[in-house]
Structure 1
Amino acid sequence: MKLCQLPLLLLLISNIHSGHTEEIPKPKVTIKPDHPVFRGETVTLRCDIYDGVPSWRYNWYKGHSSMVFSELQEHTFRSVNESDAGKYSCNGTETEGSRRSQRSDEVTLTVSVPRAVLSVSPQKWLTEGDPVTLICEVNGSATGWTFSWFTKTVSGSRNDYELLSDSSRGAGGKYTVSSAALKHTGVYVCRAERDKPPTYTTYSNTQPLWVTGVSPPVSLIISPSRTQHFSSVSLSLSCEDQSNSDGWTVRRYTDSGRLEDCSSSVWGSQTGSKCTIRTTDPLDTGVYWCQSESGENYHHVNITIHIGVILESPVHPVTEGDNLTLHCVYPYASPPKLRADFYKDGSLIQKQTTEMIIPTVSKSHEGFYYCKHPESGESPKSWISVRVCVCVSFSGSKISVLHILSSVLAACPYLLVTVVLIYKCCRMRGKTYD
C-alpha cells in the first residue's frame, strides 16, 4: 500500500466507526485547451470537487509523485514546454474540516514542438513561364497561423535564411508564382507563428525550385558528359559562356540539404570557372549550377553519384526531333555497357538491349528513366527533359529557327565586309568615270 493512500484509508475507517457512511468525494480535473498544445502556449489545469462544501484546499501532483507542486484550484503554465508534459491529478482537504477527498483520475498534458512542413506543386523543375505554388503547413494544427517565407543563402561555410521581400503575400500558407522566372530559382524555407506572445514553429524542410531559361548565357559543362557518375572517381564541372569569362562560380545543393560553393569547400577546388571534385562520393549527389558574380543562377543539372549501375544519359535537354540514346553501365563488368532493361516513369519500355535509342524525340518522351540488370542491379533515376523545337518547314523537312538565326549571326561579319567592299568599289568607279 502506498503511504499517500494511508490517511485516506484511516479517514474511511474513522467514518465507518463513527457511523458516518457518506461517500468520500472524488475531484474532476479539466485541462484547457483540451488538445495537444505547442511549446510556448498557455495551459490551465482546474480541480473541481462537487460536494457542497464551500471551501477546499487543493493539492496538485505530477505522475506518481506524492510531492505537491501547487495548492491552487487552477494551475496555469504561462509558457508551456516539453518538460511540462505528463500526467496530472489532484485532491483536496476541507479548509474548515478534517475530510480529505480521493485523488482524481489523471489527465495527460501533451506538449509538442510546432513544425512547419513545406511542399511544392506541381514540381520543382520548371521552365520560364511555368506556374508554381509553395505550400507551408503546420503538423497537427490547421488554423490561426501566419506564415513567413525565406530563401537559403551561403555565408562562408554557413547557411543562413533571408526573408523574402514579398513574404507577406504568402501569409496564408501558399506562396504562388504565376509565371516563373530565372530569379525565382533558389532554396526556400518557411516558418509560422500565432498568438501573442507569438508561438513560432521551427524552420521548415528546404524546398528547391529550379527554373531553366530558354537560352541561358552560360553552360555547365560536365566531364564525363553524363548526369550519373561512379563513386571514387574524378569529376570536372566548368561554366562556359561566349566571352570565356572567369566570373562564374560552381554552386551546388546536395540531397542532405547543404548549399555550397566549390570555391569555399572541402569537396572540390575551383580554378577560374572550373570546379574539380577529386574523389566523388554518394554525398556529392545534388543539383549543380553556375552562379554569376552578381548572383544570377543558370543551367541547373541534377548529378547523381552511385556505387553500382548507372544510366548514361545526356546532360542537356534533348531537342524535339533529335535522337535520344541511353546506355546501362557498370564499371566492374566487361564490357561495362550492360545488356539491360530500360524503364520510363516505372514502366518497362525496352528489354535486354545494350543501347536504347529513341529516333525522333517528342515532348511525350520527357520523364524519369532508369535501367535494370538482373545481376548487377538497378541504376538511379534521371530526369530527361525535351526542349520544344521552334522550326520552319522547307519541302517536308524541318529546320530549327535557332539554327537559322545562329547561322545568320555567324555570317553577319562576312556580309558586312562584303557590303563595305562593294560600296568602296562603286565609289572608286564613279571617280574614274569623272
Structure 2
Amino acid sequence: TVPSKPTVTLQPSWTQIYSGETVTVRCEIQGGEGAQWTYEWRAAKLNTPPTSNEYRIIRATESDSGGYSCRGRRDYFFSEWSDIITLTVSYKPRPVLTVSPSWLSPGASVTLNCEVEHPSAGWSFYWYKAVPDLSEKSSSYELLPDGSGTAQDSYIIHGQTHTAGYVCRAGRGDPEYHTDHSQPKFVWSADVHSAASLTVSPDRVQHFTSDSVSLTCEGNFPEWRVRKFSEDGRLSDCRRMTGSTCDINTSKSDTAVYWCESGSGEFSSAVNITVQNDGDGPILVSPVHPVTEGASVSLSCSLRTQKILSNVFFYHNDKLIENDPRGELKISAVSKSDEGFYKCQYSGRESAQSWMSVKGADSSSSPVWLMVGLVCGVSLIIILLLLLYRCRQSKCSCFTRWIQSESHSPGSSTNHGVNQDETHEHNSVHPGTDEPREVTYSLIKLQNLRKKKKHHKAEQSAVYSEVKTGAAEDSLMYAEVKQPKKEKAKKNKGTSSPAADAAVYSEVTSGSSLSQ
C-alpha cells in the first residue's frame, strides 16, 4: 500500500511566532501507521535534519524563520515531499493600548483596548495601572482587579475620577509566553478636586513661541515631577524642574498635555498647552481649567505685542457666535451648552482652537450655605424678640396684635359660644407693674369663612379675660370677642336669637413678673 503524501503541522498551530516562543514541527503520514519510518526534513537552518517525525524549536529566533517540509523512508521506499509550511519568527511584540475617552468627565467609564499584531492567535490579556516611581524615574505596574489573563481584548473601568496611566500585555501558549508591556496610555481628567493640582502661569491654554510658562505642582507631597504627552505620542519629563515648578521656554514641540505626579503616586488634574507656531497670528486667551456652571468667563484675542480690543470674531465649534466684532466674549453664567472648541479671528487670521470644559456646580458648598442660613435665622429670631420686648415696654399696638395671634391662653377656662372649627380665641397678656391697674380693651371680630346659601346676621357674645401677673399691682386687660353663635338664625330676617349676649370672665395668673 502506497501511503499518502505527508503533511507538516505546527503545534501550536501559529505560523507567526515571536522570538522566545517554543514551537513543534511534526510530519504526519496518513496510511503509514505501524510502519517503521525514518524522516527527512528540509529547512533553511537544518544542516543535519532529524530522523524523527517531530522537530522542536525551543526559544525561537529570527533565524528559525523559513519553509519546512518532510518525507518518509521505509527500507528503500520514499514518500513524496510534503507541502511547505512557512514559519515566521519576529521580535517580541509590544501591544498597542488605546483608551476611550482620553479626556474624562469625572465618574464616567473608561474602556481600555489592547491590540496585538495577530489578535486571533490565542492571546489572553493582562491589565495594569501605572504607578509613578520618582526614585527610579519610572513607573511600576499594578495589576487591575480581575485584570489577569482575560480572554477579551478590552477592559472597562467604572467610575474613573482622576488622571491615570494604564498599560497592557498579552500572553499565550503553555508554558505561557508574554509580550512586552504596552506603552502607557493616559486618561486625563481636568477635575481640580484631586489631592494634587497643577497651576499654569500665565493662566491660559495658548501661548506664543519663546514665551516663559511656569507649571507648578501643588499638594502636600515632598516630591514632584511634571510629565507631558506630546502630539506625536511621546511621553517625557520636564527638563527644567525646580522644586515643584517646571519652567518652559515654549516651542512648537511643547504643545502637549501636562500633569503632575507625586512621590506617593498621586496624579494631578491635566491641562492642555498649545504653542502658536505663527508668530504674527493671534492666540485665544481662554482658561486652562474647567469653568464651573453658573460662573462668568471672559475670552479674548491677543497678538504677541498687544491685547486686541476690537474687530474680533469668536467661534464656538466652528460656528460664528455673533456677527458683531468686539474685544471680548463674555459669558455671564456658563452652562453645559457653552462647552466646546473656541477660536478667535482678527484681520482675517485665526487662532488655534482650544477646548473649554464646563463642570457642574460644586455641591460641597451646600453645608456652608446651610450654616449661613441657620445663623441668619437665629439672628432674625433674636432681633424679632428684642423688637417685641421693646414693643411691650412702650405698650405699642404691634405687641398687642402679635400676642393676639398666639393660641388661646391655657388659663382660659371657658370658651362658650365659639365655633372651634372656624375660629380661634386669643387672650392678650400684659405684665403687671407698680403702677395702679390699667385696663385695655381689644376688639376682635371673628368671621365665619364658610360659604352658605343663606347669610344671617350673626349674634355676638363678648368674652373678657382678666390677666394677673406677679407684680405688686395687677394690670387688667379685657378682650372683647365678637363671634357668630352656633345656633341657627331664625327664618325671619332681622330677628335674633332670644339668647342675650353673654359675658364670660376668666382669670389667668402669670408665673413671672416683667417690668412694664
After TM superposition, the score normalised by the length of structure 2 is 0.56
Once residues 210 and 221 of structure 1 are traced to their aligned partners in structure 2, the CA distance between those partners, rounded to angstroms, is 15
Amino acid at match of 1:254: F
Shift of 1:383: 2.6
- The structure-2 alpha-carbon separation of the partners of 1:338 and 1:361, relative to structure 1 and needing over 3 Å to count, comes to same
Is 1:330–1:376's contact at 8 Å kept on the other side of the alignment? no
In structure 1, C-alpha distance between the alignment counterparts of 2:347 and 2:46, rounded to whole Å = 65
Query: Which of 223, 227, 232 is residue 252 of structure 1 equivalent to?
Result: 227
2:334 pairs with 1:361: yes
Seen in structure 2, the aligned counterparts of structure 1 residues 159 and 406 have a Cα distance that, compared at 3 Å, is farther
Measure, in 1, the Cα distance between the counterparts of 2:132 and 2:47. Answer: 50
Q: Post-superposition shift, 1:303?
A: 1.9
Deviations 1:127-175 (A, max 9, x none): 2x333343445442355515141314244573232324x5445653555
Distance 1:35 1:315 in 2: 50
Change in Cα spacing, 1:178 to 1:51, as seen in structure 2 (3 Å) is: closer
- Alignment partner, residue 105 of structure 1: 83
Residue 386 of structure 1 and its aligned partner are, at CA, apart by 0.7
Aligned twin of 1:209: 187
1:318 CA drift (Å): 1.7
Give me the whole-angstrom Cα distance separating, in 2, the residues matched to 1:31 and 1:323: 68
Question: Residues 49-64 of structure 1: matches in 2 within 5 Å?
Answer: 54-62=35-43
The 1:338–1:119 alpha-carbon spacing in structure 2 relative to 1, beyond 3 Å, is: farther
Show the 5 A alignment for 1:292-331. Answer: 294-308=264-278, 310-327=283-300, 331=304
Which structure has the higher relative contact order (CA within 8 Å, separation 6+)? 1
Given that residues 41 and 78 in structure 1 are in contact (C-alpha distance below 8 angstroms), is that contact kept between their aligned partners in structure 2? yes
| One-letter amino acid of the structure 2 residue matched with residue 58 of structure 1 | Y
- Of residues 176, 195, 206, the one that matches 1:198 is 176
The answer (yes or no) to whether the contact 1:323–1:357 under 8 Å persists in 2 is: no
Separation in 2, partners of 1:366, 1:334: 24
Q: How large is the Cα RMSD of the aligned pairs?
A: 4.6
- For these two proteins, the number of residue pairs brought into alignment is 362
Shift of residue 342, structure 1, vs aligned partner: 3.1
What residue in structure 2 maps to residue 126 of structure 1? 105
Q: Tell me if 1:348 matches 2:319.
A: yes
**Paired residue for 1:226?**
204
Partner residue, 1:89: 69
Q: Structure 1, residues 383-431: CA drift from partner, whole Å, max 9, x if none?
A: 311122369xxxxxxxx967985996xx99xx9xxxxxxxxxxxxxxxx
Question: In 2 relative to 1, CA 122–284 (structure 1 residues): closer, same or farther, beyond 3 Å?
Answer: closer
The one-letter code sitting in structure 1 at the alignment partner of 2:165 is V
TM-aligned CA deviation for residue 197 of structure 1: 1.8
Given that residues 341 and 373 in structure 1 are in contact (C-alpha distance below 8 angstroms), is that contact kept between their aligned partners in structure 2?
A: no
Task: Return the letter of the residue paired with 1:302.
Answer: N
Task: State how far apart, in whole Å, the 2-side matches of 1:306 and 1:156 are.
Answer: 35
SS at 2:175's partner residue?
A: coil
Q: Which residue of 2 aligns with 1:387?
A: 359
* 2:254 matched residue in structure 1: 284
Contact 1:280 1:305 (C-alpha < 8 Å) held by counterparts: yes
Question: Which protein has the larger Cα radius of gyration, Structure 1 or Structure 2?
Answer: 2
**2:95 matched to which residue of 1?**
116
- Who is 2:26 aligned against? 46
Give the 3-state SS of the residue equivalent to 1:321 in structure 2: coil
Instruction: Answer yes or no: is 1:159 the counterpart of 2:138.
Output: yes
Distance in 1 of aligned mates of 2:134 and 2:218: 25
SS in 1 for 2:361: coil
Work out the percentage of aligned pairs sharing the same amino acid. 35
Q: Which residue of 2 aligns with 1:19?
A: none
CA 1:188–1:49: 2 relative to 1, 3 Å = closer
- Per the alignment, residue 473 of structure 2 pairs with none
1:239–1:72 Cα change, 3 Å = closer
- Distance (Å, rounded) in 2 between the aligned partners of 1:85 and 1:371: 58
- Cα distance, 1:201 vs structure 2: 1.6
User: Paired residue for 1:73?
Assistant: 53
Q: Which moved more, 1:333-342 or 1:115-124?
A: 333-342
* CA drift at 1:362: 1.2
Q: What is residue 7 of structure 1 aligned with on the other side?
A: none
Whole-Å separation in 2 of the counterparts to 1:47 and 1:386 = 66
CA spacing shift, 1:137–1:208, aligned 2, 3 Å: same
Q: Could you tell me how far 1:226 is from its partner in structure 2?
A: 0.9
Specify which structure has the higher proportion of helix: 1
Measure, in 2, the Cα distance between the counterparts of 1:334 and 1:175.
47
Report the structure, 1 or 2, having the larger strand content. 1
**Code of the aligned partner of 2:137:** R
**TM-superposition CA deviations, 1:150-208 (whole Å, max 9, x none):** 314244573232324x54456535554433345xx322212233343221022113121
Unaligned runs of 5+ in 2: 380-516
Checking the alignment, whether the CA contact within 8 Å between 1:323 and 1:358 is kept in structure 2 is yes
Amino acid of the residue matched to residue 275 of structure 1? C
CA distance, structure 1, for counterparts of residue 339 and residue 314 of structure 2: 18
- Select which of 139, 150, 155 maps to 2:129: 150
CA gap of 1:160–1:249, structure 2 versus 1, over 3 A, is closer
Task: For 2:217 and 2:46, locate their aligned partners in 1 and report how far apart those are by CA, in whole Å.
Answer: 70
Amino acid at match of 2:227: R
Partner-residue secondary structure (3-state), 2:270: strand
Question: Using the alignment, how far apart are the partners of 1:191 and 1:217 within structure 2?
Answer: 30
Change beyond 3 A, Cα 1:163–1:357: same
**1:169–1:148 CA distance, 2 compared to 1 (3 A):** closer
Return closer, same or farther for 1:216/1:205 CA change in 2, 3 Å cut-off: closer
Distance 2:130 2:138 in 1: 10
1:67-92 deviation digits (Å, cap 9, x = unpaired): 55433322222443443222223345
* Distance 1:26-1:169 versus aligned 2 partners, 3 A rule: closer
**In structure 2, distance between residues paired with 1:66 and 1:178:** 53
Relative to structure 1, the CA distance from residue 111 to residue 355 in structure 2 (aligned partners, 3 Å threshold; closer, same or farther) is farther
Question: Which whole-Å CA distance do the structure 1 matches of 2:64 and 2:276 have between them?
Answer: 46
SS at match of 2:10: strand
Match of 1:361, SS? coil
Tell me the amino acid that sits aligned with residue 266 of structure 2: E
